[in-house]
Structure 1
Amino acid sequence: MGGYHRGEIAVQERAGFARQAGHARGAIGNTVPDVAVAFLAEQPHVVVGGTDERGRVWATQLTGEPGFLTVPGPHTLNIGVLPLPEDPLAAVLTGSRAGRGRVPIGMIGIEPATRRRMRMNGRAVRDGDGLRVELDQVLSNCPKYIQKREHHPAPAAAADTSAPVTRTAADSTELSPGQQRTLRTADTFFIATASDRGDADASHRGGNPGFVQVLSPRLLRWPDYAGNAMFLTLGNLELNPAAGLFVPGWETGTSLHLTGFARTVWDEERVARHPGAQRLVEFEITAVREIAAASPLRWSAPAFSRFNPPTAG
């Protein structure tokens, strides 16, 4: 995974960013820099993407007290927690064992308060009550489109660990009216993809509320803004349309998980209707899972990124 795969190269060339992508490739390594070791140690959460036992791609979030992310060696990340039993990736991650093959996962450590983020892709195996990930790719991303937020623990009543974590609705194949409202007002979500070889990636998407369009209970659309020219997400979609979205409930701790298939829209006339868009992405939903009280973290109201383009009228 040291270079770009053919899907990434195809998208870079079609978008006209092949030269920029060539320069950016030097930022992709497979070791965690010392400054990033300290950054990860301060984080209370990490977003993870992967493929479940049925071949569906999901994105999710793991949380813990700062220090639950450690780097015992430059090529290894330890995650000191396991997913909740209700988590869509729980079965594959909690069931992964040494000697039975490692599970490809993509990860993004993100600190909204400072608009810093770091992506890591590798292969995970269960290690006691946590995960050990051997890293294949490590790279930092720019702070564009990250909304600034400060985190704090949930109120004592909401953080009562004796209360079971429950789904707020049974898994479904389409969005409820409430979930549609959540997406229409979202300013942030995370997307997981995988290459045709199964190598996973997790990435951040942000914009002003309204940048995610709900076209129907089973179809979403969002603009693809200017980024780092690597096209790791769109490159995976070029080879494998399976994708998963995670929408955090910043104020409630609720996790909204979607899985389905995504495609890139290149039609210039359609793209031009969306301010700031260089392409569009359409996402067809095949399954929805919402988990109440999935996270003990609560976050302040956002300070929107100055890079956010206006939303389409």
Structure 2
Amino acid sequence: MSSPMDQEKTAFHPGEIAVQERAHGSGPGWRRAVSRVFRDTMPDQHRAFFESQSVLFLGVLDRKGRVWATPAFGETGFVRSPDARTLRVNAVPALRHELAFDMDEGAKVGVLGLELHSRRRNRLNGEIVKTGADGFDIAVGQSFGNCPQYIQARVFDWTGGAAEPIEVERMNGLTGKVEALVERADTFFIASRVPELTDDPRDGVDVSHRGGRPGFLGVTGKSMLSFPDFNGNRFFNTLGNIEADGRVGLFVPDFETGEALFVTGQAVIDWSPERAGTFAGARRIVDVTPEEILHARNVFPARGRLLEAWPALETTGIWDEVRAIEP
């Protein structure tokens, strides 16, 4: 394990460091080098990128401390950056009131800007410093970019969504409706958190993207959602939070219908090489036991058309292929 001195000099908390060392044996020198990617301000290109978006994906907490992934939508320009340390969001997260999100000043939040047609994405983690009925301001804790891996390129028709109110149904477990939406998804978003939320910018809430062939997210056993962890940037922000805490939230959209699943629960990392070996491309498997599941219609006010799947996904698996070889 890394020493406290190593932790002080890097952008990573102990959970992330533990996963990095177990997964690829990284040491203090590697962490110090890659920590330069993480800033406490947004570079100008990130500020312009966020301001050009019509949707942000957020990691937020509810009043029970559970974590959720959820989008916020608006006309282009609904996100502003008045300075390099502030992101102003003139919208509220989807299902803010139904899920009793903590949007008070001081609440931690994770942000992902994702431009699907270009596969550009940038992230930041921080805290809410101003809040109101129509939006909130975020102070940057960590700002960093991500590579385009596993992103399915899509274009959106923002006039194609029905202008209808969101319809929410609380699900009683992993029903057939849940399973059908899960196993046709090629994209989902996962939010995670650390056990103790402190003033340290490493101790917060994070949200990230996951992509794969339809069926890479699956219902396994009677009560779990599972997905593979493919090779990535080796930061292990999500897996590090799972190692340290385990509370996660999933947002699983259907871009063609505008419906989505919202899930909160507990995640664990299965490091078994035998299990990962049955799933093409997987390095580890993550299992999520849901605590609460909501199905929402009309939540995504646009319709997406797939332009191109991420090419490397041709060599990765899906759960139906795993089931076909199980004894």
1:213 corresponds in structure 2 to: 218
2:162 corresponds in structure 1 to: 159
Counterpart among 112, 118, 123 of residue 122 in structure 2: 118
User: Structure 2 counterpart of 1:219, which letter?
Assistant: M
Distance in 1 (CA, whole Å) between partners of 2:93 and 2:283 is 35
User: Structure 2 counterpart of 1:114, which letter?
Assistant: S
Give, in angstroms, the shift of residue 271 of structure 1.
1.1
Counterpart among 247, 253, 262 of residue 248 in structure 1: 253
Give, in angstroms, the shift of residue 216 of structure 1.
3.9
- Match status 1:76 vs 2:86: yes
1:26 corresponds in structure 2 to: 36
Secondary structure at the counterpart of residue 154 of structure 2? coil
Secondary structure at the counterpart of residue 25 of structure 1? helix
Give, in angstroms, the shift of residue 239 of structure 1.
1.1
List per-residue Cα deviations over 1:222-276 (Å, max 9, x = no partner).
Answer: 1101111111111111110110000112012223100100011111111111111
User: Structure 2 counterpart of 1:310, which letter?
Assistant: T
Sequence identity, in percent?
Answer: 35
Q: Cα gap change, 1:159/1:31 in structure 2, threshold over 3 Å: closer, same or farther? A: same
- Match status 1:106 vs 2:91: no
Give, in angstroms, the shift of residue 84 of structure 1.
4.2
**If the length of structure 2 is used for normalisation, what is the TM-score?**
0.87
Check conservation: 1:86, 1:166, Cα contact below 8 A.
Answer: no
List per-residue Cα deviations over 1:169-209 (Å, max 9, x = no partner).
Answer: 2x234122122011111111000000112310001111111
Give, in angstroms, the shift of residue 150 of structure 1.
0.5
Counterpart among 29, 33, 46 of residue 36 in structure 1: 46
Counterpart among 270, 276, 282 of residue 277 in structure 1: 282
1:195 corresponds in structure 2 to: 194
Counterpart among 301, 309, 317 of residue 311 in structure 1: 317
1:5 corresponds in structure 2 to: 13
User: Structure 2 counterpart of 1:65, which letter?
Assistant: E
Check conservation: 1:109, 1:117, Cα contact below 8 A.
Answer: yes
Secondary structure at the counterpart of residue 121 of structure 1? strand
Distance in 2 (CA, whole Å) between partners of 1:48 and 1:34 is 21
Supply the RMSD in Å over aligned alpha carbons.
Answer: 1.8
Q: Cα gap change, 1:228/1:17 in structure 2, threshold over 3 Å: closer, same or farther? A: farther
User: Structure 2 counterpart of 1:107, which letter?
Assistant: V
Distance in 2 (CA, whole Å) between partners of 1:300 and 1:164 is 22
Check conservation: 2:179, 2:218, Cα contact below 8 A.
Answer: no
Q: Cα gap change, 1:236/1:80 in structure 2, threshold over 3 Å: closer, same or farther? A: same
Distance in 2 (CA, whole Å) between partners of 1:83 and 1:90 is 11
Distance in 1 (CA, whole Å) between partners of 2:95 and 2:266 is 25
Counterpart among 220, 224, 243 of residue 238 in structure 1: 243
Distance in 2 (CA, whole Å) between partners of 1:6 and 1:88 is 34
2:296 corresponds in structure 1 to: 291
Aligned length: 301
Check conservation: 1:52, 1:88, Cα contact below 8 A.
Answer: no
User: Structure 2 counterpart of 1:264, which letter?
Assistant: I
1:64 corresponds in structure 2 to: 74
Secondary structure at the counterpart of residue 105 of structure 1? strand
2:3 corresponds in structure 1 to: none
User: Structure 2 counterpart of 1:190, which letter?
Assistant: F
- Match status 1:135 vs 2:140: yes
Distance in 2 (CA, whole Å) between partners of 1:105 and 1:88 is 18
Check conservation: 1:25, 1:230, Cα contact below 8 A.
Answer: no
Secondary structure at the counterpart of residue 122 of structure 1? strand
Which piece of structure 1 moves more, 299-308 or 193-202? Answer: 299-308
- Match status 1:15 vs 2:23: yes
The structure whose RCO (Cα within 8 Å, separation 6+) is larger is: 1
Check conservation: 2:69, 2:249, Cα contact below 8 A.
Answer: yes
Q: Cα gap change, 1:141/1:87 in structure 2, threshold over 3 Å: closer, same or farther? A: farther
- Match status 1:258 vs 2:259: no
Check conservation: 1:193, 1:201, Cα contact below 8 A.
Answer: yes
1:50 corresponds in structure 2 to: 60
List per-residue Cα deviations over 1:90-121 (Å, max 9, x = no partner).
Answer: 5422xx2xxxx411011100001000111110
Which piece of structure 1 moves more, 219-228 or 124-133? Answer: 124-133
Distance in 2 (CA, whole Å) between partners of 1:119 and 1:37 is 11
